[in-house]
Amino acid sequence: MNKANLKFKIIDALYIAMMTVPILFGIVFNTLTKLPSEGITITGAQIYFVIPMPLQDLPITSAQINSLLVIITVLGLCLYLTHGLTEKAERKRQLLAEWIVEKTQAMVNESMGDFFKGYAPFIAAILAISALSSLLSLLGMFPPTSDINIVAGWAILVFILITYYKLKGGFLNYLKSFTEPIFVMTPLNILGEIATPVSMAFRHFGNVLSGSVIAVLIATALQGLSSIVLGWLPGVLGEIPFLQIGLPGVLSIYFDVFSGCMQAYIFAMLTMLNVSGAFPEDEYEKRRQKKLSKRSKA
């Protein structure tokens, strides 16, 4: 094995470690710090410690820790898939990377138009981080998407982008949009503007959290039902929750896998539609032409 191949494999191993070690660390850390409980317990993110701040103390929770682990994992995955790119794909990972790029770019072009074609990496990041965050529940970790603070942060970022592109048409046009179609609609238009990030945050958070709650309740109910119906079996057999076998796993596939990935896709679609829909293309072109004419005259 020559030095080039050895160096390539070492870097590959580092990227693979970057993908796997954060999740393994999260599983171990969650196991060691999880508070003991009895029966049904549905709580929010566990608070590890609090950092004193001037205006309001900053709690460090499992949602924040797990979000950081997800970001590191996604970064490691991206570095691994793009390591050793060649003009003609020679590795399966490059084919996978090209497929992801092509599909994401096609989705962005179709939903947002050519002006926003540079948004493909941003949308891919939303899909990856959101989906992986929801899938952490399969590993016994707290999914960050079940914390309203995490999802609200994403929604606020999208709201900033929406406002930025609305201002592309000029500040006066932005203010004028609140008075359309008639002036008396101004209060409702302002409420509608604020409602955009609120609805995006609560839709994602509510669907992920409700799925986890329903799965826990059904699993616990089946355990109790198994004890009532089959508790007469002799010895250890009467203590085994037979009715709990199978159905919770099927529900987990739906609520944790399908629903989690679906909510990631919905959030990404809403991001694309809200950002592109906020862009006043006609007004932007008029302002751009005026600037070009002034420069040419100068």
pLDDT of 209-239, one tens digit each?
777 777 777 777 777 767 766 666 666 655 6
Q: Check whether 263 has a pLDDT greater than 60.
A: yes
Highest mean pLDDT: which of 3-7, 68-72, 222-226, 279-283?
Answer: 68-72
pLDDT (0 to 100) of residue 107: 93
Name the more confident of 184 and 69.
69
Q: Give the separation between CA 199 and CA 8, rounded to whole angstroms.
A: 46
CA 211 to chain CA centroid, Å, is: 16
Q: Which residue has the tokens 């070009």?
A: 292
DSSP assigned state of 2: -
Name the residue among 251, 241, 188, 161 with its Cα closest to residue 214.
Answer: 251
In DSSP notation, 194-213 reads: HHHHHHHHHHHHHHHHHHHH
Provide, for the chain, the percentages of residues in helix, strand and coil under a 3-state DSSP scheme, each rounded to the nearest 5.
Answer: 80, 5, 20
Q: Give the separation between CA 34 and CA 69, rounded to whole angstroms.
A: 17
Q: Give the separation between CA 194 and CA 184, rounded to whole angstroms.
A: 17
pLDDT (0 to 100) of residue 141: 85
Alpha-carbon distance values, 37 to 28, 34, 40, 70, 174 (Å):
18, 9, 8, 26, 52
Q: pLDDT tier at 270 (50, 70, 90 boundaries)?
A: very high
Read off the pTM: 0.84
pLDDT (0 to 100) of residue 239: 62
The mean of the pLDDT values for the chain is 84
Instruction: Dump pLDDT digits (tens) for 119-131.
Output: 999 999 999 999 9
CB-CB contact of 129 with 154 (8 Å): no
- Taking phi first (over 0 means left), then psi (-120 to 50 degrees means alpha), and beta for anything else, what does residue 235 get? left
Residues of the chain above pLDDT 90, percent: 33
Helices (H) and strands (E) in the chain, counts: 10, 2
Contacts of 268 (CB under 8 A, 6+ apart): 123, 126, 127, 130
Q: Give the separation between CA 147 and CA 204, rounded to whole angstroms.
A: 10
